[in-house]
Structure 1
Amino acid sequence: MVRLARLREALSVAEGDPELVRSQLQAFGRQIPLLYFILLVNTMAVAITHVNCAPAWLSIYAPIALCALCVIRCVRWWRARHRVLTHDKAVPELRKLIWLSGIFGIAFSTWSLLLFPYGTAYQQAHVAFYIATTVLGGVFCLMHLRAAALLVLSIVILSFATFMVFTGSPVFIAMAIDMTLVGIALAFIVELYYQTFTGVVHAQSELLASQQKTQRLSDDNFRLASIDSLTDLPNRRSFFASLRALSEQALGSGGSGFNVGLIDLDGFKQVNDIYGHASGDLVLQEVGVRLLALAEPGIFFARLGGDEFGVLAQHKQSNETLVELGQRICDTLSQPYRVAGNVAELSGTIGWAAFPEAGTTVAQVFERADAALYVGKESRRGTPVIFSTEHETRIRRSSLVTQELRHADLDSELFLEFQPIYDVISQRTIGLEALGRWHNARLGAVKPEEFIRIAERTELILRITEVLLHKALDEAARWPAELYLSFNLSAIDICTSARARRLIDIVQASGVPPHRVSFEITETAVTRDFEQARASLTMIKKAGCRVSLDDFGTGYSSLSYVHRLPFDTIKIDRSFMTDVDTNSASKKIVKSVLDLCRNLGLECVVEGLETSSQAAVVTALGARAVQGYLFSRPMRASAIAAYLQTALGQGYAVEGQT
């Protein structure tokens, strides 16, 4: 039974070994031309030598038919030589080859044995030689198909040996015995070769599996090293590797270059502060999903760290295309985010820079994109900004101002100018607003909007506020008791209760009564952290100081703050005064705010009056406290006494300046 099972295995296809089946077909496919070449040459040679001694059907037509079959098989092999079969199709193909080998073995053996009786001893010897060489060549060509090789060998050897034995000739019997023994030896060779072939195939399969496993491990390691685990976007390392590759390609091939974009989320810090870092991570994951949805051939997104992301446009884009792409990115990022059962509103700002126009190195083009992003964050949040030489100038100027501000002697370089606040009913000055100024030895006079913005970003504003507040209170102490001091605060000044307490301490130590001090805060400063702003302003109000909302009307939700914060005064922004005497809409807005303040019991100051016509209109609308160039430009402290005595004829005496 064991031997029968082994014989059945030897003559069957290894269906359970797909790799072996595939290798057998590939190896046999390379041997097919040689196999049919041997059959064609040997068959034609024997046929030619027997044309004159054997019947035509046996010496001409039969070999022609056999040779035609060989040619047909060669043509079919040639047409299908490049096809790749699945395992399900390869097994039937292998079985077919085995059966075809048996059929060809029977056909050629039968033809040669029928031809053997004809002719002389030499011609008979030729037939025997034909059988021997053909079976040897065929077996060696079929060695990769063990079943086919053994089947052909068995058919030829058994039929030829049996035929020779029945002739009764001692020579032929000896030939039969010799061929049988050689056939057995060939069968062992076929088996040994097949085992070796199988071992090689399995070894290669194991090696390939090992290589694939190694490659998978390598791919996993590469993924860990190159992909951000939180967002599934390429990480900073991968981004800069791609950036370097693109720059080398552009410089080496003289290509048209590419574009680099830096994206920053506006409002992400508040999500972390309010909802916690776990919620912040969920937002970042959602950002990764949204950016991946925008990815397309040639557009590559990455997370660079925190809430900063990068984008590479691998083919140079026009400015119009960059703006359109950037706006799509910003619009996508500005969609609401679900966080801890709430909805968080964020936006994205993107800065673009082109290689090599903006910079010829990776560092330069990245810095230029960062510069464009910085400009966008300052003045154009939620929009794309393309780097320009103007941005470069602004960044260099900002860097220079920052350095000078850090090393400045603020006590000596900072000074104040004061702009009066005028009561049009009593025609008297009721207060003065302190305006910070900075004169630097290297930079000269620096505009307030420039150095204050930089000071807020670097938190130098805390020191500047203290210096200027001390100076302002020193001046206010010399003024008549009827005048109040209006002093501007930044968002940083009220960002903690400790900072608010410090402001109160400075006022109390100055000797100026708290009710004569009015702290102005803009709506933008309030919105940065509303709850903390309310706590700080309430503390200031309880200390006896007054609180004003500056630039009212420039924000989109000012009304929501009026009743929630402890304001004493609202200042209408100067932007409404430009055409208040000609534009009915501006006039209605000013009238509405004045009525609102009157109904809520708040004082109202109208800023930015420059013409008597504007003053007449707002006075007719009910305004009382006004401010602007019409009444006085900002003045140095030394000019206040003269202003009060002569400009408006009020006859105020200022201590130490009479």
Structure 2
Amino acid sequence: MSGLLFFQRVANVFRVPTGNAELSRAQYDAFAKQIPLLYLLLTTNTIAVATSYVNVAPFWLTVGLPAVLCLMCILRLVKWLNRSRKMPTDEMVLKQLRQTNRLAIVIAAAFTAWGLILYGYGDAYAHGHVAFYMAVTVIGCIFCLMHMRSAAIIVTLIVNVPFIIFFLLQPQTSLKAMALNLVFVSAAMIIVLLIYSRDFARLVESRSETRRLGDENFRIANLDALTGLANRRWFFAELTKQHERAQTTGAAFAIGIVDLDGFKPVNDTYGHMTGDRVLTEAAQRLKEACGDDIILARLGGDEFGFIVSGNPTRDELRWLGAAISDVIRLPYAVGSSQALLGSSIGVAGYPQSANDPQALFERADYALYHAKRHQRGQMVIFSTEHEEQIRSHSVIEQALQNADLDAELSMVFQPIVDITTGRVRAFEALARWQSPTLGNVSPDRFIPVAERAGHVRGVTKTLLKKALAALAQWPADIRMSFNLSAHDLSDSETVVQIIAIINRSRVDPKRIDFEITETAVAHDFKQAVAAVQTLKALGAGISLDDFGTGYSSLSHVHRLPLDKIKVDRSFITDIGSNPVSLKIVKSLTALCADMGLDCIIEGVETAAQLATLRDLGCRMVQGYYFAQPMTEAEVPAFLASADEKRA
């Protein structure tokens, strides 16, 4: 058994290894650069020897046969010089290595036979030239083939063994000594070849491992560890590549940003481990919806990005948006219950929306912002209208940066009336901005810009000071509602500053109701709850504004320390003609009663709406039917008029 193993190992020395494609490629690449030199060496040395034997050996041996051998070498030389620089396939590499092995046998045997025959002619000097030719040429050929162990050893043995035997059979002692020298040189050359072959294989393996580790590090650096998707860095790298290709080919592409609506409450309610599982499942659903042709990455938190190449049409993008929304909307198992999510998507196309990657991403982000603010749970494709809005917002932002907030901002107040008694119970404080450059700018225009630009905290503090100054002049039984932004709630320092402003105003905090929106709460639910609890501890009331328009209203109702709920005006507009709106308002009114919360109905504009609300048992209402927003100076007269009507 051991003898068989030995012969197998010996046989393997003469074979091309087949189990390591990378080693085969490295051998091919290395000897392919040297094999033209091998054929050039054979040709020049052969011509030199043949020339020295022209007058002492037959024509066929000095011209005919050398010409054939040299022509074969030249043809092989030309073939290798003209080989394609493109790396061949693994099969082609293995085929070429095996062909080189076979040619090594044929070429070595042919030149050895020619040398031995030629040795029979000429004098001692000519014999010495042949011996020198064979020794020097074989060493040169071995060095050219050293990256192919099998071919180099084959050449060594085929050339040297016949000459060793030939010299040993000669009567001259010097030739016998030369034969022994060849034995030792051949043995040394074979040992060197084996050692070099082993070291070369290890080097290739080491390079392969280094490359693998580098690829793995690159993969890790560009992979999101939680979801298994690509990360933000990889996304922007691919966006840059896609942009460069598009500039070259003229092709269009689109990028999109997906934000999971309702994820933060799930994360805050059930904990980060459950949140991570939901996020991972959402990522897999996104991957299935996008397929293999769309680049998908996690940008951070519950935000994902995708790149669609191949000149996508608006209809194709809408179809993709619908597919994403459908899979994200399916329930998620969280313990013994289920969680529901939605997806708001912003999309921008190249070159329609922007001409560079950063601007394109900003356009997609703006489309997402628009979707979350106006079309939550849907896809918004960036349009020329949005471009105009951006320019308008830029002008507003610039004006805000240069504004004297104390001088330019003001408050107006709209009454909240108890329709069972006719008394004014409170006023909602509404912001107004009179810009020296832009004129009168409505709050629905400048507040979103202030939020996006990071100016809203300064706006809030200025408005609160003015609102509290007005409240201090009103009767003690009149309350005031004041709106807080998501950015106000998400910053604990701003909450502290709000409390400080209230304390300095000397207004009883119990007369203040802070209105928060579901969007503000969802922005950072944990921090929002902490902020609300701090304001509640101060004595202020908390109202949930625009109720029914958010994504997870009921979850916010039972998890926030609320005092009031304000039903959005969108349910009141058609309450007399739309049975669905009527049922919704009726249900919300009953819900508030069951939970011990005050219910305020916004947007009452007609007597018919008011009559319907009376029939439903509603009590607190607000709207143009009673009064439009008024200045601080107009409030006393309005209160006096209301008291007269009630009397």
Fold similarity call, TM over 0.5: yes
Q: CA deviation at 1:307?
A: 6.8
Is 2:481 aligned against 1:486?
yes
| Letter matched to residue 419 of structure 1 | Q
**Aligned partner of residue 550 in structure 1, secondary structure:** strand
* Correspondent of 2:94 among 84, 108, 114: 84
CA separation in 2, counterparts of 1:418 and 1:604?
19
Q: CA deviation at 1:570?
A: 3.3
Residue of 387, 399, 407 corresponding to 1:404: 399
**Distance in structure 2 (CA, Å) of the matches to 1:266 and 1:562:** 17
Deviates further, 370-379 or 231-240: 231-240
Aligned residue among 622, 635, 647 for 2:630: 635
Aligned partner of 2:210: which letter?
Answer: L
Higher deviation after alignment, 437-446 or 533-542: 533-542
Q: 2:567 aligns with which of 561, 564, 572?
A: 572
Q: Is the 8 A contact 1:146 1:191 kept in 2?
A: no
User: In the alignment, does 2:410 pair up with 1:415?
Assistant: yes
Aligned to 1:591: 586
Q: 1:433, 1:485 within 8 Å by CA — same for their partners in 2?
A: yes
After TM superposition, give the deviation of residue 580 of structure 1 in Å.
Answer: 1.5
Partner of residue 250, structure 1: 246
Matched residue type, 2:224: T
TM-superposed deviation, 1:564: 5.6
Question: Residues 331-410 of structure 1 correspond to what in structure 2 (within 5 A)?
Answer: 351-380=346-375, 384-410=379-405
Return 372-381 or 267-276, whichever deviates more. Answer: 267-276
CA shift in 2, pair 1:461/1:287, >3 Å: same
Tell me how far apart the structure 2 counterparts of residues 285 and 16 of structure 1 sit (CA, whole Å). 53
Judged with a 3 Å threshold, the aligned counterparts in structure 2 of structure 1 residues 439 and 295 are, in CA distance, closer, same or farther, namely same
Alignment CA distance shift 1:378-1:189 (3 Å) = farther
Structure 1 distance, partners of 2:217, 2:202, is 22
Map 1:501-512 onto structure 2 (within 5 A): 503=498, 506-507=501-502, 510=505
Any idea what the Cα deviations from partners look like across 1:277-320, whole Å, max 9, x if unmatched?
99999998888888788887654455667776654445433333
Deviations 1:147-185 (A, max 9, x none): 556777799999xx9xxxxxxxxxxxxxx869x997996
Q: What secondary structure sits across from 1:354 in the alignment?
A: strand
CA distance in 1, matches of 2:477, 2:159: 120
CA deviation map 1:2-40 (0-9, x unaligned): xxx9xx99x9746498669999x999x99xxx9xxxxxx
Provide closer, same or farther for how the CA distance between residues 183 and 367 of structure 1 changes in structure 2, counting only shifts above 3 A: farther
Question: In 1, distance between residues paired with 2:177 and 2:277?
Answer: 75
C-alpha change, 1:528 and 1:595, in structure 2 (3 Å) is same
List gaps (5 residues or longer) in structure 1. 35-45, 47-80, 106-111, 113-124, 126-135, 162-175, 653-658
The letter for the 2-side match of 1:552 is F
Letter in 2 for 1:250: A
CA drift of 1:84 comes to 3.5
- The answer to whether structure 1 residue 582 and structure 2 residue 577 are counterparts is yes
- What is the 5 A alignment of 1:171-186? none
1:431 to 426, 429, 445: 426
Q: CA contact under 8 A between 1:520 and 1:547: conserved in structure 2?
A: yes
Give the distance between the partners of 2:561 and 2:277, measured in 1 at CA.
36
* CA RMSD after TM alignment: 6.2
Is residue 2:466 matched to residue 1:471? yes
C-alpha distance 351-213 of structure 1, shift in aligned 2 (>3 A): farther
Kept after mapping to 2: 8 A contact 1:644/1:650: no
CA positional deviation for 1:356: 3.2
How far did 1:582 drift? 1.9
Change (3 A) 1:602 1:388: closer
Q: With structure 1 as the length reference, what TM-score do the two structures score?
A: 0.63
SS, match of residue 581 in structure 1: coil
Structure 2 unaligned runs (5+)?
Answer: 18-22, 44-57, 59-90, 122-131, 143-151
2:206 aligned with 1:213, yes or no? yes
State the AA in 1 paired with 2:565: I
Partner amino acid, structure 1, of 2:246: A
Structure 1 equivalent of residue 50 of structure 2: none
Say if 1:216 and 1:308 are closer, same or farther in 2 by CA, change over 3 A: farther
Q: Would the aligned equivalents of 1:228 and 1:234 in 2 still touch at CA under 8 Å?
A: no
2:233 aligned with 1:259 = no
Written as runs of structure 1 = structure 2, the 5 A alignment for 1:239-318 is 240-251=236-247, 253-262=248-257, 299-301=294-296, 310-318=305-313
CA contact (8 A) 1:569 1:604 kept: yes
**Counterpart secondary structure, 1:467:** helix
- Residue 442 of structure 1: aligned partner: 437
Contact 1:298 1:315 (8 Å CA) reproduced: no
Structure 2 CA distance for partners of 1:588 and 1:14, relative to 1, 3 Å: closer
Q: Is the 8 A contact 1:465 1:489 kept in 2?
A: yes
Distance in 2, Cα, partners of 1:345 & 1:644: 46
- Cα distance, 1:440 vs. partner? 1.4
Matched-pair contact (CA < 8 Å) for 1:236–1:304: yes
CA shift at 1:436, angstroms? 1.4
SS in structure 1 opposite 2:94? Answer: coil
Match of 1:614 in 2: 609
**Contact persistence 2:513–2:540 (CA under 8 A):** yes
Compared CA separation, residues 215 and 307, structure 1 to 2 (3 A): farther
Q: How does 1:529-544 map to 2 (within 5 A)?
A: 537=532, 540=535
Change (3 A) 1:201 1:345: farther
Residue 228 of structure 1: aligned partner? 221
Whole-Å separation in 1 of the counterparts to 2:388 and 2:587 = 43
TM-score by length of 2: 0.64
Q: How many residues align?
A: 569
Measured after TM superposition, the shift of residue 348 of structure 1 is 6.3
Output the amino acid matched with 2:430. L
Q: Choose 1 or 2 for highest CA Rg.
A: 1
Question: Using the alignment, how far apart are the partners of 1:548 and 1:464 within structure 2?
Answer: 20
Change (3 A) 1:219 1:354: farther
Contact 1:483–1:516 (CA under 8 A) maintained in structure 2: yes
The percent of aligned pairs where both chains have the same amino acid is 39
Name the SS for the 1:580 alignment partner.
coil
Deviation at 1:504, TM superposition (A): 5.7
SS across alignment from 1:608: coil
Q: Does 1:549 align with 2:544?
A: yes
Change (3 A) 1:418 1:228: same
Cα gap change, 1:282/1:465 in structure 2, threshold over 3 Å: closer, same or farther? same
Following superposition, the deviation at residue 509 of structure 1 comes to: 5.1
Closer/same/farther in 2, CA of residues 446 and 223 from structure 1, 3 Å limit: farther
